[in-house]
Structure 1
C-alpha cells in the first residue's frame, strides 16, 4: 500500500478491461489505486499532472504500446510532463522485443500480462518503480510475517527477528545522520552569511552521501545535495577560510602545489578596450576539466563563471582523450580517479604521444592525503596538483603560475 494512496500514481491504459482484469485485481488487492483509461488523450492529461506516476500500456502488439505512449507524449505539446515511468504489457511472443527495448532505455519495464503468468510480478515492478519516483509502500512488519508462518522453526524465527531488529537500528541511525547533516548545513550557511567561521564535518557528509544507494530516500538526498551545493557556492566565491581547518580535513584545499608554486595573486582585469590592438591581446583560455563527480564539476564550473574562460568538462578518460585529440587546450585539470581509467595513465598517454596537447600544462586534482600518487604524476610531467575542493584564490594563483589571462566576464 502506498503511503500517499489518494494520489493517482498508477495508470493503466487498455482497450479491453477483460483481458487485463487479473492484473487490475492483483494491484487492487494490494490496495494500490489503479486508474483505468482507454484513450490516448487521457494519457496526455495524466502526463501533464504534477503527480509522478507509473503508466502501464496494454496492446495486442508491443510496437502498439510504444505508438500509444509516444502519441500521448506528443499530445502535450509545449507543456512540461510530470516525472513518469512506462511499462509495456505484452504477450509472451513479444517478450524478447520488449526486453531489447527495455535494455535500450526506450521503456522502463515490461510485463507479460496476456496471460499473467506471475501473479506477484506486477507488485515487484510497482514497488521498484515507485521507489525510483521517490515513493514507497508502507513498511510491513517483518516479525509478524515470520511469526505467522508456522513452518518456520523457533530458531529460524529467533535469528531472523534478531537480524530484523539490527537492520531497523541501522536504518534509524542512518536517518539520524541524514538529519544531523541537514541541520549542520543549515548552521554552516547561517554562519557564513554572518561572515563567521563555520564548522562542518565534511568526512561525515562525504561518507553519508556515498552510502546512499536507494532511490526510496531520493527526496532527502536531493535536498541535502542542494544545500551542500548552495553552501559550497557561498564559500568558493568568498573566502575559503570561512571553513575551519577541521572542516577542511586538515589539508589546505585550493593550494596549487608544485616545485615552483607562485603564491602571489594574478591581477584580474576587465576586458581590453575596443581600440586595443587585438594582436596584442591574449584570447580567453581554453580549459579542460576531467572529473567524474557531478558536484565537483558543478562547483568548479561555478568558480569560473565570473571570468572569460572557456571551460569544457569530460566525465571519463575515454571522452577526455577524444577532446584532447580534437582541440588545443591552454590548461587541463585532471582528476586522479576516473571511472574508466587512471588519471596517471591518461597523463602518460598524452605526454608520450606527440599531439597538440603534449605540451599543455596538466594539473592534478586529488582529495587523497597520500602524496605518493601526486609525486608520481609530477615526475610524469604534471605541473602541480590541487587538493579539492577548489576556491577562487586557487584559480587566481593557478592562472598567474601558467601566465594565462583572467578577464572578468
Structure 2
C-alpha cells in the first residue's frame, strides 16, 4: 500500500493546505484520520456548486472542492472543544506518527492539543503546524488565506498582462497555489522529519507559514530582484529571463512557445522559414534576445499567424522545439498524453457509485500507489476507529 505503509497521520486541518498534504500522505500509503466537526465537517464540504450527484442524480453534500483533496482518509467526527473529544484526540495521538493542523497560533493550546502539551507524553510525535504567517513575528496571530497571500507575497504583482495593454492589472492564479505549495512543502518537511526520527528517535514541530512559502517559491523572480535590484513586473505570458517564451497568435488561436536554448531558437526559425533570424546579431544568444525582445516578438507574431496552432505544434515538435496549445480544462482531460498517464481515475463511492479523481502524478517503481478509497462521508469512520481504540462502549456523540 505504498512507501508510507504503517505510518499513521492525525489530520486536524481543513480547507486546502493541510488536507492537500495529508491526501498526498494517504496516496503514499499512510493511514490518515481526518478529524471533523460533528454535523458540519470540513468547511470545503459546503464550497459549491458543483456537488457530487447520487445514483438518483440528486446533489449530495459532497462538493467538488472537498472531493479534490481528501481521498484515502478516514473521517472521524469529534468535538475537540469537549473534554471527551480532547481525550479521544490524545488517544489517537498516542498511536500516531504525525499530526497536521492549521489552527491559528495558540488555537489548540486551550484544548491541551498544542505541541508543548502533546510532546511530553509523545516525544517522537512529528507535529506540523500550517498557518498564514508562521508561529512568530508581528502578524503570527492573523488568519491567512490564499488570495491575500498571493497578493502580499508578490505573486499577483508578476501575474497578469503588461501595463498599457488591454486587460492589464494584477491577477491571482486560477488555483490556490499558495495553499497548494504550502501543502507540498509540508509533505517534504514531514518526510525529512520522519527520516530524522528514524535516526534519533526524536519528534519535532514543523512551523510552516503560507507567506513564507509564497516568498520562497518566487524562485527566479525573487532572485531577479535580489541580484538585479529592480522589482519584476507583469509580462503576461512572457518570461523575464528567456525569449521567445510566451504565447504567440496563430491563424486560429494561440500557441505557447517555450524556447529554452539557442539550438531550439535556430530550429524554430527554420520551421518558420526564416533561418536567417537565428543569425541576426540581435538574436544570436538568449541574453541578446532578452535585450531585443521588443524587436523580435513582433517578427515572430507575424510569422506564426500564417498557420493554425495544430499545424505549428506538429512542425515544431518534429524539430524538438517545446510548444503546445493553450487547453481549457475539458481539453486537458481529453489529451492523449494525460489519458495515457492515467491522470483521471474513478474510485468507488457509497452515494454516487463512483467518483472521478485527479490522480497523484508520482509513479513509484517498487511501491506503486494503491488508492485507499474515495474522500469519506462526514463521520463515516468514527465508530470503527474509536472502537478500535478501546474495548469500551463508545459514547454516541463526540
Tell me the TM-score range normalised by the shorter chain.
Answer: under 0.3
Q: Which structure's relative contact order is higher, taking Cα pairs within 8 Å and 6+ residues apart?
A: 2
Answer with 1 or 2: which has the greater Rg: 1
TM-score under structure 2 normalisation? Answer: 0.24
TM-score under structure 1 normalisation? Answer: 0.24
